[in-house]
Structure 1
Amino acid sequence: MGAVGMQPAINSYACLINALGTVGRTLEADAIFQEMKELGFRPRVRSYNALLKGFLRKGLFKLATKVLMEMEELDIDPNQETYMLLLESYARSGRLEDTWLILKEIKNEGFYASSYVYSKLIGIYRDHGMWKNALDLLREMQDNGVSPDRHVYNSVIDTFGKYGQLDEAVDAFEKMKHEGFSPDIMTWNSLIKWHCKAGELHQALKFLNRMLECGFYPDPKIFVTFISCLGEEGKWREIRRAFEVMKLKGFKESGIVYGVLVDIYGQYGKFQDASECVSAMRAEGIEPSCGVFCALANAYAQQGMCEQTVSVLRLMEAEGIEINLTMLNLLINAFSNAGRHMEAVSVLEHIKESGLSPDVVTYSTLMKAFFRARKFDQVQEVYKEMESAGCVPDRKAREMLQNALLILEQRHGHKI
């Protein structure tokens, strides 16, 4: 077009910026945006949103902030899409305080979040131990006339499960089906994971079988949770049986992932090196995703294999995948299980420096590290920090605190 003296319309520029940003080519998207301005076009909010989306998808929050500042300088008001982009991005990356601020602005501007965004917000409350607030948000959503969808039901089921309200989680599951929403892989994963965590392995196995009958296979991270709970009780026959049932059901493409996870957990003992695991998956035509990397890290972390967990994190970075709070929590767990509490503390400091908000899992895992190191006074300090950060301690954290206080009382001879 340029060679024949023609110039794209402003909508063409906006489409190109959006396309480049969507596939992560943010430098080119920004270059096109600057060219558009130099040619005398005044970008509309649509063009700013397109650029903003690209920056947020890659976690480039400083550049995203500059886009917002430029919009303010040019008196270009953010629209609902702008706020939704920010809300989704902050929710996904665990930036708690930024999420609250954006949610407040949305309400002040008279915009209403979609059911998908509400499900993300419920997830944030869940991750920070505020499950009662999550239910308040569900009521607010219904008051605003937004009908719950599968995303919302999944968030509610996961929230109930995480805080041990298993009967309520199953009730929400049944209500979801009654409303005409078919369970998806997230639904089954939540039910299996939290029944495992609560020691209800028989019920978890029932849900696993129902899941397989529906043609779904568990998320690799959930599969690790399942086999680790069985492994702790020495039920290797059940692990092998579950794995064989899944193979008989015909899962092929992701079969190598499950095989590697069973192997890491000691069933076969071939894959003790993270890079070998990734190579084996690639040989089967599987490109490791963020979820698969977290599953591998989880398998290593639960056995205290710190070097391998760090190796997974480095492999993930080399693939250009953003390190999230889940991965960093797994790293804390690896150091905790290995009895290396100082390294666990350094990961917490890294989380804070990265602009992420530590959640209840971060703090309770760090408490476990100090408890194992017999640093019982530090267990109490971490618990206090968790509460001051607005996280509601879970059952395990409360039990650890009580046990730490009892030991301290015995040491000092008086009540702490």
Structure 2
Amino acid sequence: MELCCSGVLGSGGIGAKTPIASGVLSSGGTGVRTPVARKHRSSAGLLVAPPKRRPTSRRAGSNKLAPPCDEREGRPGAQNVVHMLRSAAADPAEALQLFKSVAQQPRIVHTTESCNYMLELMRAHGRVRDMAQVFDLMQRQIVKANVGTFLTIFRSLGMEGGLRSAPVALPMMKEAGIVLNSYTYNGLIYFLVKSGYDREAMEVYKVMATDGIVPSVRTYSVLMLAFGKRDVETVVWLLREMEDHGVKPNVYSYTICIRVLGQAGRFEEAYKILQKMEDEGCKPDVVTNTVLIQILCDAGRVSDAKDVFWKMKASDQKPDRVTYITLLDKCGDNGDSRSVIEIWNAMKADGYNDNVVAYTAVVDALCQVGRVDEASDVFDQMKQKGIEPQQYSYNSLISGFLKADRLNHALELFNHMNIHGPTPNGYTYVLFINYYGKSGESLKAIKRYELMKSKGIVPDVVAGNAVLYSLAKSGRLGMAKRVFHELKSIGVCPDNITYTMMIKCCSKASNADEAMKVFSEMIETRCVPDVLAVNSLIDTLYKAGRGNEAWKIFHELKEMNLDPTDCTYNTLLAGLGREGKVKEMKT
């Protein structure tokens, strides 16, 4: 769901692409003017020619224009209005009078494009006060502002920080007589959040509240979504703010809070919000209940999640496709085969087994609980219904076969993909690389890795880590180093797992110097080691007779914010035992 600049939530999603109206100066928000082309630009641009007087037979202030009409709408089109304004661009006073007179015509409506053109014209002539008149008319006629509207105003005030300079620009706008109303405040907050400027959006919200302008419930929701990814307290505070300002939260606002609190593990508070929601007469909808199911499953409370699901089935808020797929996935991860079958049967009864996503979800869930033959049957049913399996559908079944150690069936599917499509993707190859690695067949793993590259698939860190795991298990350090350096050469940044696998490989190959070199690089690149990497390094150093260095690494665990594990202590004890340091072992 998404907030448009009027503060209305739509279906685009907070990550949806914001349409930037054509009337925007493409200066990247730096405040530097783009050079103007010699020829007139189309009305899609806001750039205006430098001030230049030209003869005109039209008296300033004349409103006796008969603009051509758009026959479909019975009124002049937006481009025709801009064309009229462009004809008077050499005289800003005349253009402003024309702009005002157009606004008084019953059959003419100003658009974002015409208003932005006028704002840019006034800015080019340094007429900030006249910009205030244009902006005021824009707000009174409820013409939607876009990013270009605000950037033009900010540039007129000497602001060169683009949209994120909004908090600094607002006081200056007031001084210039450019005052925002609720409609445009909501829009500005949305554009800031959409551009990733959450902190600046919050500052604008606080100015808005100080001005006595109450944000819409949808603006609060957008701010909640933005801060919910990392700041639970701010989301809870925003909910209180809504109530303090007399704004009644809606089901969407409450649902965001429930999701954020649930993801933070604050289940009691999430349930209190749910209860409050019901007490306020705001009935939880399908989305709310699906969110509740998801957070309960993530907390390991699958039984409670299923209770919510069956209550939904008995209510007027029936589970939808997303609810079914969410619960199927979680029950599969939890190994609950009985629930997977029950939910799939209910899903079929409700008619949600009609697309590839639904079928793949149940194939994956059945594979997770080890019922691969049933998963294969469902896969075949999907094809019989004329639903074409996608790459992820094949990958789910291949993964199931490999987990069940049925390599031949997995290879059969892989070969079918190569012949009939869809073409195997990187993840398909990773499944086989992982299988061979865990089976101790490192040469087959590296062969599959090379085959993937020969098909034009560029390895990512997941593929690299998979093949390094197999090489580490067999101690093939030379091959591992080639893969490691190749990944870096193609721009893949090694992660925690990459370095840990390399250290393990060094340990298996009894190469302490190389292990220390990899560990040092890991620290230099600010890739935080985990205790598994440190344990491998300690073991390698002790086996190489470098006990003092092993203990030094152990004492640095606290600086790395790592807690020693049983394996850490066992490794140290084994090393001390080899050195015959019985007293230290006893202490």
TM-score band (shorter)?
0.5 to 0.7
**In structure 1, distance between residues paired with 2:219 and 2:532:** 45
Q: Distance in 2 between matches of 1:222 and 1:410?
A: 47
Q: What's the counterpart of residue 192 of structure 2?
A: 55
Counterpart code for 1:130: R
Pairing 1:89-128 to 2, within 5 Å after superposition:
89-91=226-228, 93-128=229-264
Greater C-alpha radius of gyration: 2
Query: Is the Cα–Cα contact under 8 Å of residues 195 and 201 in structure 1 kept in the other structure?
Result: yes
Q: SS at the partner of 1:6?
A: helix
Q: Helix, strand or coil: the match of 1:183? A: coil
Give the drift of 1:52. Answer: 1.7
The 3-state SS of whatever aligns with 1:105 is helix
Q: 1:232 to 1:209 in 2, by over 3 A?
A: closer
Which residue of structure 2 aligns with residue 148 of structure 1?
A: 284
Q: 2:144 aligns with which of 16, 19, 25?
A: 16
The alpha-carbon distance between structure 1 residues 128 and 69, as it changes in their structure 2 partners (threshold 3 A), is closer
The answer to which of 68-77 and 216-225 deviates more is: 216-225
- The answer to whether the aligner puts 1:64 opposite 2:201 as a matched pair is yes
After superposition, give the CA deviation of every residue in 1:352-380 in whole Å (9 maximum; x if it has no partner): xxxxxxxxxxxxxx99x6458757999x9
Matching residue of 1:308: 460
Note if contact 1:189-1:222 (Cα within 8 Å) is conserved in structure 2.
no
Q: Match for residue 30 of structure 1?
A: 150
Q: 2 CA distance for matches of 1:205 and 1:241? A: 13
8 Å contact from structure 1 (residues 53, 85) kept in 2:
yes
Query: Contact conserved, 2:293 with 2:308, CA < 8 A, in 1?
Result: yes
Q: Secondary structure at the match of 2:144?
A: helix
Taking structure 2 as the reference length, the TM-score comes to 0.44
Q: Counting helix residues as a fraction of each chain, which structure ranks higher?
A: 1
Distance 2:275 2:192 in 1: 33
State yes or no: 1:256 paired with 2:390.
yes
Matched-pair contact (CA < 8 Å) for 1:88–1:120: yes
* CA–CA separation in structure 2 for the residues paired with 1:116 and 1:34: 33
Q: Deviations over 1:87-113 (max 9, x none)?
A: 13323x444343233234334434332
* Residues 55/246 of structure 1: CA separation in 2 closer, same or farther (3 Å cut): farther
Looking at structure 1, the residues matched to 502 and 189 of structure 2 have their Cα atoms a distance apart, in angstroms, of 40
Q: 1:373 to 1:52 in 2, by over 3 A?
A: same
1:57-206 equivalence runs, <5 A: 57-65=194-202, 67-68=204-205, 71=208, 76-91=213-228, 93-206=229-342
Q: Shift in Å at residue 204 of structure 1?
A: 1.4
Instruction: Provide Cα deviations, 1:157-215, integer angstroms capped at 9, x if missing partner.
Output: 22222223233222211222222112112210221122112111342143234324433
Cα contact 1:115–1:151 (8 A) shared by 2: no
How has the CA–CA distance of structure 1 residues 176 and 232 changed in structure 2, closer, same or farther, with 3 Å as cutoff? closer
Letter of the 1:140 counterpart: K
Note the C-alpha offset of 1:240.
Answer: 2.8
State how far apart, in whole Å, the 1-side matches of 2:269 and 2:494 are.
27
Deviation at 1:412, TM superposition (A): 6.7
Offset at residue 232 of structure 1 (A): 8.4
Quickly say closer, same or farther: Cα 1:160–1:146, change in 2 above 3 A: same
Please report the RMSD computed on the Cα atoms of aligned residues, expressed in angstroms: 5.4
Residues 271 and 118 from structure 1, CA distance in 2 versus in 1: closer, same or farther, beyond 3 angstroms? farther
Q: Kindly indicate whether the alpha-carbon contact (under 8 Å) linking 2:232 and 2:260 is maintained by their aligned counterparts in 1.
A: yes
Measure, in 1, the Cα distance between the counterparts of 2:433 and 2:495: 6
Corresponding letter in the other structure for 2:271: L
Contact 1:122/1:137 (<8 A) preserved: yes
Give the count of matched residue pairs: 332
Q: Is the 8 A contact 1:212 1:249 kept in 2?
A: no
Q: Give the whole-Å Cα distance in 2 for the aligned partners of 1:102 and 1:332.
A: 39
Q: Measure the CA separation in 1 of the matches of 2:381 and 2:496.
A: 30
- Give unmatched runs, 5+ long, in structure 1: 21-25, 282-292, 312-330, 351-365, 386-400
Q: In the TM superposition, what is the alpha-carbon distance from 1:156 to its structure 2 partner?
A: 1.8
Deviation at residue 86 of structure 1 after TM alignment: 0.9
What's the % identity of the aligned pairs? 17
Taking the TM superposition and a 5 Å limit, the aligned residue runs for 1:252-291 are 252=388, 255-259=389-393, 261-262=395-396, 265=399, 267=410, 268-269=413-414
Tell me which residue corresponds to 2:41.
Answer: none
Q: Is the 8 A contact 1:161 1:190 kept in 2?
A: no
Task: Tell me what 2:99 maps to.
Answer: 6
Does 2:364 correspond to 1:227? yes
1:114 and 1:232 mapped to 2: Cα distance? 39
